[in-house]
Structure 1
Amino acid sequence: MITHKKLPNGFVYIEIKNSAAEAKIALQGAHLFHYARVGEEPILWLSEVSDFETGKAIRGGVPICWPWFGFSEDKALPQHGFARTAMWDCVSCSEADEKSSSVILRLTHSQESLKMWPYLFELDLHVTISDKLTMELKTTNLDCNPFSITQALHTYFSLSHISDAVIKGLDKKPYLDALTWKDEVQEGDITFNQEVDRVYQEVDREITLYDKNRTLHVRNENSSSVVVWNPWIEKTSRMSAMNKDAYEHMLCIESANAFDDARVVKPQKSHTLKTVIF
């Protein structure tokens, strides 16, 4: 069942329920903020104090960073682009069978977007909800000129506790440490006992997240960069819409085209960033 819903303040979202899983997607930002398989705890972390208000990004779930990841050269522009707070249109909702439901949301250029990024575009997010979570972010260039994009599906995973988290699949991969701005190489598995903010490159294999109570896999296509982030104690205390202990129960593994993995999209061509979580 796919239902369009609205909070008392007017905030609109789509609720998906089938025999395999359930999910909720806000039209603002095409922001998937809930996904859980039937009989299981949510896979996505969502802040207990997150804002569900027009113009404010939701803290948790899967924010969409587009058409730039991080800050633009113009620091007056919004961090991680404008897609995550823009209103998207619902293009289609469908149910392949009782275990699989799909929603396609679309964002196109507007007078507001052209002030921040001077290109004509069509951006589609195709989400498939089943026992796997599949997200496909398709950028189509409707302009006369090529453009370059960096982007990310900024996925917040829910954890039993950060001390239990182990990431496999990034051993020997180079990364930029965003805390020191030094280039490093990963040695072994990733564990957490302090703030981590890294952009891995040359990623060509499945990533596995081990937690105390479950194991999750992340498989990406048309992406060779992955962001791993946990804000730890001090940064969490400074961040909006986060309780002071939030860092203990969340971890971001972001499927991306970031930094060296930026993509050029030629006129009338498309690029699709795809991730499957299972």
Structure 2
Amino acid sequence: MTSRPLPDGVTLGEREGATVLSARTHACALDLSLSGGHVTSWIPNGHDETLWLSPLATFTPGHHIRGGVPLIGPWFGRGNSGTEEPQHGWFRRVQWKLASVEVTPDGTIDVSLDLAEIRNYPGVEVKAARLHVRAGATLELSLDVTAGGKPLDLEAAFHTYFLVSDVRETTVGGLENVPYTDAARSRTAGLGPSVLRFCAPTDLVFEAAPPLVLTDPGAARRIVIDQHGASRTVVWTPWQADVAATADIPDSEWTRFVCVETAVSEGGTVHLAPGATHTLTARYTLEHS
């Protein structure tokens, strides 16, 4: 934990045993949990909440938080072997420590977190990881992962849950003609449409990470998504039937979110030499429409 005094508007508190950082400035409001390095809320000035957080989310250390921006890594899903545990790796389940926090004159909040706990597995050796969060009129997340003494096949993602007025009216643009694999339908292949719409359970792994625009007509807003250091875009929403089988999502919430994930995964693994570092970045900007 940093020994420097916290800037004005920044506080540390506790929720279900987890340390949580809250920041309130004239530019935005930001909440994040040091358990999992997990951003749970971002409200830029002049806008409503951007991120969906399940009413049933648990902050208990060692568990993962449903909603916000789960930090996936050092593997995605079950990893390259298909057998790794836990699902989506351990970054989101361990403690992170506050390395620094600053507030700039324009109200932008800069937070850096370092891994406080390393859990290495055979063939997956991480030396260090740092999460940078820069929140103001935009939200920028950067994850630096450094390999240990052996080569590392890194998978990681920002598994961002965007709050929408109705997923059935929401669209994602920017994926036209990008090859994808449909994980919800026996991994069939296809090409992205000019505008992606939602009418059923969706789990699409696109083989690129271009700039995207998520449009929410009901909220009269667009979310511009810029991605760097990524090889894949994953778009996921579980729909009504799958939500009913998920304990930490209320049945009534299935229309309220869609995940657009900035990732290195699913055949787009980053191969790191011992001691090498990879940076994954996602930037979100809200616009009124």
| Alignment check: 8 A CA contact 1:152 1:254 kept | yes
Q: Which residue does the alignment assign to 1:91?
A: 99
Consecutive unaligned residues in structure 2, runs of 5 or more: 1-8
CA distance in 1, matches of 2:144, 2:231: 16
| Alignment check: 8 A CA contact 1:108 1:120 kept | no
**After TM superposition, what 4+ stretches of structure 1 lie above 4 angstroms from structure 2?**
115-118
| Alignment check: 8 A CA contact 2:98 2:113 kept | yes
Residue type at the aligned position of 2:23? I
Give the alignment partner of residue 239 of structure 2, picking from 213, 232, 239.
232
Residue type at the aligned position of 2:12? H
Give the alignment partner of residue 166 of structure 2, picking from 161, 164, 169.
161
Give the alignment partner of residue 75 of structure 2, picking from 64, 68, 71.
68
CA distance in 2, matches of 1:66, 1:118: 10
1:219 equivalenced with 2:220 (yes/no): no
1:93-115 alpha-carbon deviations (Å, 9 max, x no partner): 112224211111111563xx124
Give the Å deviation of 1:272.
Answer: 0.3
CA distance in 2, matches of 1:187, 1:76: 33
Q: Which residue does the alignment assign to 1:10?
A: 17
Residue type at the aligned position of 1:181? R
| Alignment check: 8 A CA contact 1:62 1:155 kept | yes
| Alignment check: 8 A CA contact 1:109 1:121 kept | no
Q: Which residue does the alignment assign to 1:127?
A: 133
Q: Structure 1 223/144 Cα, relative in aligned 2: closer, same or farther at 3 Å?
A: same
Q: Structure 1 190/120 Cα, relative in aligned 2: closer, same or farther at 3 Å?
A: closer
Residue type at the aligned position of 2:171? V
Q: Which residue does the alignment assign to 1:252?
A: 259
Residue type at the aligned position of 2:128? E
**What SS class does the counterpart of residue 239 from structure 1 fall into?**
coil
1:196-249 alpha-carbon deviations (Å, 9 max, x no partner): 00110133x310000012111000111131000000011100112101021201
| Alignment check: 8 A CA contact 1:94 1:103 kept | yes
Residue type at the aligned position of 1:251? V
Give the alignment partner of residue 193 of structure 1, picking from 199, 204, 222.
199
TM-score (normalised: structure 1) = 0.94
| Alignment check: 8 A CA contact 2:182 2:203 kept | yes
**What SS class does the counterpart of residue 120 from structure 2 fall into?**
helix
CA distance in 2, matches of 1:181, 1:126: 34
CA distance in 1, matches of 2:260, 2:31: 20
Residue type at the aligned position of 1:86? V
Residue type at the aligned position of 1:124? R
Residue type at the aligned position of 1:24? D
**What SS class does the counterpart of residue 261 from structure 1 fall into?**
coil
How many pairs align? 273
CA distance in 1, matches of 2:177, 2:267: 17
TM-score (normalised: structure 2) = 0.90
CA distance in 1, matches of 2:122, 2:140: 29
1:25-83 alpha-carbon deviations (Å, 9 max, x no partner): 10110000111112421100011111121222111000011000111336361000011
Residue type at the aligned position of 1:102? D
CA distance in 1, matches of 2:122, 2:37: 19
Give the Å deviation of 1:131.
Answer: 0.4
Q: Structure 1 76/224 Cα, relative in aligned 2: closer, same or farther at 3 Å?
A: closer
Q: Which residue does the alignment assign to 1:275?
A: 282
Residue type at the aligned position of 1:105? L
Residue type at the aligned position of 1:103? V
CA RMSD across the alignment: 1.5
Give the alignment partner of residue 208 of structure 2, picking from 176, 181, 202.
202
Consecutive unaligned residues in structure 1, runs of 5 or more: none
1:81 equivalenced with 2:86 (yes/no): no
| Alignment check: 8 A CA contact 2:58 2:64 kept | yes
CA distance in 2, matches of 1:268, 1:116: 17
Q: Which residue does the alignment assign to 1:152?
A: 157
CA distance in 2, matches of 1:31, 1:10: 14
Give the Å deviation of 1:256.
Answer: 0.5
Give the Å deviation of 1:133.
Answer: 0.2
